[in-house]
Amino acid sequence: MNEQEILAYLEQDKTLRIDMIEAIRRGGAKILYAEPDAVLLLKMNRFCLLVSDTVEAGERALKTVPEGVCLFVAHNEPSRDAVFRTFPFINHASACWQAYYPGTDPIPLPDVCEIKPFPTEQVPFLMSVYDPDGDPKRYEDRVASGDVLAAYRDGELAGFIGFHGDGSGGMLEVLPKFRRLGIGSALEIALHNLALSRGWTPYGQIYTTNNASRKLQESLGMVVSDGALYWMYEERD
């Protein structure tokens, strides 16, 4: 299959597969396997994204996974089950809805805060709030690339948001004293607009246990998938 044929296959369930579509369009994925019943991508040389019509098709695709890759995003139940069958050490699957913004025009920002690029000198604080055990270099690089935004209220840092390494939107944190002021929604809109300015389709994922977040995304004009994808890995005691 050529790239156009692969994208046509993925577009059959655009909402659930938008991360795979964007990975190809942004040039951030290697196509490991592509047949009319399954597509497998490698992202960042770290994890694989799989969708397959059947478990058997998924198993065929997974034969091409490079050695050392042990993180997978399965985009339906057949591909989830194919991962479990192929890699017995995988014992965890977190179910998420996928959401994307279908528009192309910038979204008006509510006047509740000032939003700027996140300051590099505040990376240690960001990590203390969001990911204390993370890799500082990874967050410094993301901030330096302009992939993280900060919200300020009366000159005080109120929250932040950014793109994950895979290109999805997330990292949303509003500091406790600034909650219930609409700052979280403003940050999400600002990140969507940043994605649109780069020619990207804004997208993100929501744990299927988080109905409040789903309602928020829908209120911001996001289209949310009916089915789930699964982040799959080995969970150790």
Q: What is the CATH number of the domain that holds 152?
A: 3.40.630.30
> CB under 8 Å to 128, separation ≥6 — which residues?
none
Strand, helix or coil at 165?
coil
Q: Do the domain assignments include residue 154?
A: yes
**Domain assignment of residue 35, yes or no:** yes
Total residue count of the chain as it appears in this document: 237
Same domain, 56 and 132: no
The pLDDT score that the predictor gives to residue 165 is: 81
pLDDT the model gives residue 73: 98
* pLDDT tens-digit series, residues 98-135: 999 999 999 999 999 999 999 999 999 999 999 998 89
Place of tokens 């799989």: 50
Spatial CA neighbour of 52 closest among 71, 77, 69: 77
Please determine, for residue 58, whether its predicted confidence score (pLDDT) is greater than 90: yes
Per the CB < 8 A criterion, the answer to whether 61 and 39 are in contact is: yes
The bridge status of strand 92-100 relative to strand 229-233 is antiparallel
Compute the distance between CA of residue 200 and CA of residue 234 in angstroms, rounded to an integer: 31
Co-location of 145 and 95 in the same domain: no
Query: pLDDT value at position 235?
Result: 87
Same domain, yes or no: 74 and 143? no
Residue 108 within any structural domain of the chain: no
| Contact residues for 135 (Cβ-Cβ < 8 A; gap 6+) | none
| Number of other CB atoms surrounding residue 153 within 10 Å | 17
Q: Which three-class secondary structure state does DSSP give residue 35?
A: strand
Statement to judge: residues 46 and 120 lie in one domain: no
Sign of the four-CA dihedral 179, 180, 184, 186: negative
The pLDDT score that the predictor gives to residue 233 is 96
Q: Tell me the residue range of the domain where 119 lies.
A: 114-200
Q: How confident is the model at residue 167 (pLDDT cuts 50, 70, 90)?
A: confident
Is residue 218 situated within a structural domain?
Answer: no
Whether 166 shows a pLDDT value over 90: the answer reads: no
Q: What is the domain count for the chain?
A: 2
Q: Same domain for 131 and 164? A: yes
**129 and 157 fall within a common domain:** yes
Question: CB-based contacts of 207: which residues, under 8 Å, 6+ apart?
Answer: 94, 95, 96, 97, 213
Is it the case that residue 149 has pLDDT exceeding 90?
yes
Residues 163-186 have a mean pLDDT of 92
In a domain, 151, yes or no: yes
What residues have CB less than 8 Å from 10, skipping those under 6 apart?
17, 20, 21, 24, 39, 51
| Residue 22, domain member (yes or no) | yes
Note the pLDDT tens digit of each residue in 189-205: 999 999 999 999 999 99
Cα–Cα distances (Å) from 70 to 27, 67, 221, 232, in that order, read 22, 9, 34, 8
Tokens coding 231: 């982040």
**Residue 207 domain flag:** no
- Say yes or no to pLDDT of 237 above 80: no
In degrees, rounded to 5, the angle at the alpha carbon of residue 95 between the alpha carbons of residues 89 and 101 is 135
- Alpha-carbon gap, residue 192 to 93, rounded angstroms: 27
Predicted confidence at residue 236, as pLDDT, reads 80
Confidence of residue 44 (pLDDT cuts 50, 70, 90): confident
In the structure encoding, which two tokens stand for residue 39, read together? 């597509």
CA distance 114 to 108: 13
Residues 47 and 121 occupy one common structural domain? no
Within a domain: 92: yes
Same domain for 119 and 180, yes or no, is yes
pLDDT tens digits for 196-235? 999 999 999 999 999 988 998 999 999 999 999 999 999 8
